[in-house]
Amino acid sequence: MFRDECEIEVRGGKGGDGMLSFRREKYVHRGGPDGGDGGDGGGVVLVATDRVNSLLDVGRRYNYHAPKGRPGGTQCKFGACGEDLVVEVPVGTQVYDLERGHMLRDLAELDAQIVIAAGGRGGRGNAQFATSVVQAPRHHELGQDGEERRVRLELKLVAEVGLIGLPNAGKSTFLSRVSAARPKIADYPFTTLEPQVGIAQVGDYDTLCIADLPGLIEGAADGVGLGHRFLKHVERCGVLLHLVDVSAAADEGRGGLEPVEAWRVIEEELARYSADLASRARILVATKCEDEETHQRAKDLAEAAGQPMFPISSQTGAGLAELLEGTRVLVRGDRDPGLQSAPAWRR
């Protein structure tokens, strides 16, 4: 199960109290103060890791309280500090303060971390207050309370390539063919209910991280359908692959939309959601190109869109290698995408 948002309450550990104590030992007259300091409380630390890919486990628990510091002891012994409470979150997690509404940290890199709630400082024992004037102080400090706050965690998947398109455009099938990911595949809309991420091998030495996002429909930017919940994940992708099913059998599934109209629907939704997404680098992919009719429909779509076009068939594997190579050069910024391996009508 996938979860990309949750709210938690975090609290740093309370610092240990300082000790009020005087040395009492045989043959030692007026030994003086020997109360030790209390230990600092532990903090709550969020760490970005690749061991988890969802906020599901983090969201199951609402309260995260770090351990307290131990009080000081006699003979000027320091109390033990409380251990930090380390909470692992997926890479790409954004941390927001619920009360103020601003972002505290974007954990977009592996091993990035933030102390979200610092522990309280330990109190000083009475030995710290001894002076030449006050040689037997009876004053000591209590440990300070740790920080407490409510935060909202929002996950935005970190992937180099994002797959977008209408439901049943062939995104899951494509991802299953080019990577080891095994998303659910079926012949009905909204088969994919949560993002899937796979690593595709490109050539002998390179790889691409590809995210399959749930299908968008018209009105997604206004909250229609399932895809609007995952539009934010598209913002992390450097390159978008817009998959359009050009088979005649898909016309009925698209509500009667021709491939060109289906392409325009998604483009308009991206522009409405974010101006940045409207200018994001992307490649148009015509899926299920397996005969002359579908190739002609793909050609018409390429001419209408005016973008680099790659016709593919995930069933037969045709065009997959060329598409991955064209995507790689766009992601790496080597040269103009698609010109080396695009169909003849786009060269």
pLDDT per residue of the chain (347 residues) written in tens, 0 to 9: 567 789 999 999 999 999 999 988 888 877 889 999 999 999 999 999 988 878 888 999 999 999 999 999 999 999 999 999 999 998 889 999 999 989 999 998 889 999 999 999 999 999 999 998 998 899 999 999 999 999 999 888 777 888 888 877 788 888 888 887 665 554 444 444 467 777 888 878 788 888 887 756 555 444 444 445 566 677 778 888 888 888 876 555 545 568 888 888 888 877 877 777 777 888 899 888 888 888 888 888 888 888 778 998 888 888 898 999 988 888 887 544 444 444 433 33
Per the document, the length of the chain is: 347
Query: What DSSP state is assigned to residue 132?
Result: S
Residue-level pLDDT at 117: 96
Residue-level pLDDT at 254: 47
| Superfamily of the domain at 161-346 | P-loop containing nucleotide triphosphate hydrolases (3.40.50.300)
Tell me whether domains 5-136+147-155 and 161-346 share a fold: no
Q: Which residues pair with 149 in a beta bridge?
A: 10
Torsion angle defined by CA atoms of residues 263, 265, 271 and 272, in that order, rounded to the nearest 10 degrees: -170
Distance from C-alpha of 33 to C-alpha of 28, rounded to nearest angstrom: 13
Question: What does the longest C-alpha to C-alpha distance in the chain come to?
Answer: 106
Angle subtended at Cα 233 by Cα 231 and Cα 238, rounded to the nearest 5 degrees: 110
Distance from C-alpha of 326 to C-alpha of 320, rounded to nearest angstrom: 10
Domain residue ranges in the chain: 5-136+147-155, 161-346
Residue-level pLDDT at 215: 59
Instruction: State whether CATH 1.20.1440.230 applies to domain 5-136+147-155.
Output: no
Q: How far is CA 128 from CA 77, 215, 238, in A?
A: 12, 65, 57
Residue-level pLDDT at 189: 45
**Amino acid code (one letter) for 199:** I
pTM of the model: 0.67
